[in-house]
Amino acid sequence: MRPNRGVAFVVTLFIVLVLTMLAGVMVQRLRHSNLFELEGRDQAAAFWAAQAGISYALGQWTADKSWQQDTYRVLEPSGASFTFAFGAGESVNNLESDVPAGTVPARQAYLKVVGESRGRQQTLEVLVGRSGLPVSRKEALLATGNITLAGAVDIKAHRSVEDNTEVEADLVSLKQAADADTISAPSGSVDVQGAVRCTSSLNSSINRTNIAARSFEVGATVDRPPDPNILGRVSAHSGAATPTLAAGQTRLPSGDTYFPNGINYEGDLELDGTNLYVNGPLNVTGSLSGTGSVFVTGDASLVGTTDIKAADAAGLALFVKGDVSLTGLDASSYIEEACAQGVDPGTQLPYSRFYQNTLDALRLMDQLMTAPDSLQDGSHWWDPAPGKTTSRKFSNAGAFNDHLTSDFDGLGDLLTHDQFSFLSTYEMVGIRENDYLQSNEVNLVGKVRAAVEAEHNPANATVKAFALKSLEQLGADDEGGFFGWSDSPERSIAEMEQMLATGDVTRFANSLNDMWDDPLLVNHPVLGPMRERLRQRLLHTLDTIRTGKLGAARFQGRIYCEGDLTCSNDLHVIGSIAAVGRESNVILNNCRITFVPEVAAQAGTSLGAVSVRAWFHR
């Protein structure tokens, strides 16, 4: 009997079995661990592939907002891929629409991209839209050097274009050097509806003489705004068209235009929804006006009238890498001098009287449109006549006769018409300090123009041409002119809606003065809330043509430069000003800045790159 026979073999087999089981477990765990870690690598590759899909779509949309093409692409050499499609349950391009598409907001796109690598998938969902340029600040005027103010300077702020609620408008110098009078107003009076702040801790860095503000602060902490990369933006548009500039007058087409060697132009340059990219200096003598944005890599010198409205209400007006100089032709002084020299042959009255009455009439029109509704308390000349319900005299012809006083249309008629049928009973309250106009004091602008035409000093040729052109615009008496609707029949709501529908906003605004307080307009669900905005448009137009403002610079949008900003011209900015080079000095003479935080915060939304606004899944 051999009872122990085979024991070693059995024991060995048992040990081998145990070892094999242990090895199996360890190998399995090792495998899982390795697979898990390798999966992390593949997930990362899939994630970055999906990111590539987003960047690819952003690039396409930057070039063409209407682009929507189903895309599958394998990235070489990594072998990862991305795919996306447009349609139900997939991506939606709503970049060009002003209304939401389902849950996708207006002017945005929803993009869903699937990245894949070795069987691993990552899905990214984003909302895409245009973002503002990184220049948004809360300051109305920001400079990195000295700020010198002269004349009447008024800095105020509204919450938004439609909401006139006052908010704070700060004036800030980021100059670090401890220099006295970093912010100063050697003459005139400055009214700041906010704080005057300076980063220098020297007390005398802010000279408070002639400056009224809510507070003054030295040693303030204020960050510099980020660099908006003007050179890069201009360079990126070097492929855009370069229109030919005609002698005397040029209207630039809508869209992007690029001038590789700067612009040196004498005449009137008009933007028609134009993004003007200038590589080099921009020198314009005459006028630069219209709707659009101007980017300049050199200095900008604008002599004459500047009137730029950014392409959208929240846009950029002027972006300059170098210095900005805004200089008026001082046509007002020229016209005043021309009118001081002669007598109107028809009335034998001095031209100066017509000129003064013209200024008064324009001032009254401005008052009429500026007076808030709350100031209709019976003590102002724009109040309704006793027993009348029509306020502000924005009335029809019947009410106009009954009031025996002025209204907007009446003042327009007085400025531009030779025949003024209401003159005999027209008590021009406010004009010439309640002096009654003589019956032959009509067509005031025409008389002023005659005085200018009679002036023949060759040295004044440029300013004379400019003045005549402005007076011609002011005196236009057709339906396309500013007073074209003077004495016109009452507009109806239907007519006004039709004007808006056809995009005839100018005619609409011109008609608005007739309808301002009409319950039809006030209670209209769409037009009613637009009254304030439309009134601003009307004031803008009025301001543009006011003879007292000839040669003014007016911007709606943000002004940004990295050199010095010098304005020896009336300047009105609805937006904000930033001069933020290494040490950019600002000199303003007679200036109004109406800071609108909404405008500043969204500066450049029409020009900013298409970028991701929100992530849904990452």
235 binds other proteins (CB under 8 A): no
Query: Of the two residues 9 and 244, which places its CB atom closer to other proteins in the complex?
Result: 9
Instruction: Tell me if residue 458 falls in helix, strand or coil.
Output: helix
Shortest spacing between CB 3 and other proteins, in angstroms? 8
- Pairwise CA distance, residues 89 & 102, whole Å: 11
Question: Among candidates 321, 318, 324, which has minimal Cα distance to 280?
Answer: 321
Q: Structure tokens of 450?
A: 């005659």
- Pairwise CA distance, residues 447 & 355, whole Å: 8
Query: Of the two residues 63 and 88, which places its CB atom closer to other proteins in the complex?
Result: 63
CB neighbourhood size of 54 (10 A) = 22
In the range 22-81, which residues lie near other proteins by CB under 8 A?
23, 26-27, 30-31, 33-34, 37-38, 40-41, 44-45, 48-49, 51-56, 58-60, 62-63, 75, 77-78, 80
16 binds other proteins (CB under 8 A): yes
Burial of 609 (0-12, 13-18, 19+ CB in 10 A): middle
CB neighbourhood size of 402 (10 A) = 14
Shortest spacing between CB 87 and other proteins, in angstroms? 21
Shortest spacing between CB 93 and other proteins, in angstroms? 16
Query: Of the two residues 30 and 106, which places its CB atom closer to other proteins in the complex?
Result: 30
Residue 384 pairs with which residues in a beta bridge? none
Helices (H), 371-459: 397-403, 408-416, 444-453
In the range 128-187, which residues lie near other proteins by CB under 8 A?
131
Shortest spacing between CB 72 and other proteins, in angstroms? 13
- Pairwise CA distance, residues 401 & 417, whole Å: 17
15 binds other proteins (CB under 8 A): yes
86 binds other proteins (CB under 8 A): no
Question: Among candidates 181, 177, 159, 160, which has minimal Cα distance to 168?
Answer: 159
- Pairwise CA distance, residues 557 & 479, whole Å: 29
7 binds other proteins (CB under 8 A): yes
Beta strands 211-218 and 189-198 are: parallel
Q: How many residues bind to other proteins according to rule CB under 8 A? A: 49
Q: Structure tokens of 519?
A: 């319950």
Q: Which stretch binds other proteins (CB under 8 A): 18-26, 270-278, 540-548, 585-593?
A: 18-26
- Contact of 409 with 514, CB cutoff 8 Å: yes
| DSSP string covering 113-170 | EEEEETTEEEEEEEEEEEPPPTT--SEEEEESS-EEEEEEEEEEEBSSSS---B---E
Instruction: Tell me if residue 614 falls in helix, strand or coil.
Output: strand
Contact track, other proteins, 485-504, x by CB under 8 A: --------------------
Which stretch of DSSP H or E encloses residue 121? Answer: strand 120-130
Query: Of the two residues 113 and 288, which places its CB atom closer to other proteins in the complex?
Result: 113
Shortest spacing between CB 78 and other proteins, in angstroms? 4
Shortest spacing between CB 134 and other proteins, in angstroms? 9
Q: Which stretch binds other proteins (CB under 8 A): 11-19, 183-191, 482-490, 551-559?
A: 11-19
Shortest spacing between CB 609 and other proteins, in angstroms? 4
20 binds other proteins (CB under 8 A): yes
Instruction: Tell me if residue 29 falls in helix, strand or coil.
Output: helix
9 binds other proteins (CB under 8 A): yes
Shortest spacing between CB 27 and other proteins, in angstroms? 6
Token pair 């008496």 in the structure block, residue: 477
385 binds other proteins (CB under 8 A): no
In the range 575-614, which residues lie near other proteins by CB under 8 A?
608-609, 611
- Contact of 377 with 383, CB cutoff 8 Å: yes
Query: Of the two residues 223 and 433, which places its CB atom closer to other proteins in the complex?
Result: 223
Residues that bind other proteins (CB under 8 A): 2, 4-9, 11-13, 15-16, 19-20, 23, 26-27, 30-31, 33-34, 37-38, 40-41, 44-45, 48-49, 51-56, 58-60, 62-63, 75, 77-78, 80, 131, 236, 608-609, 611
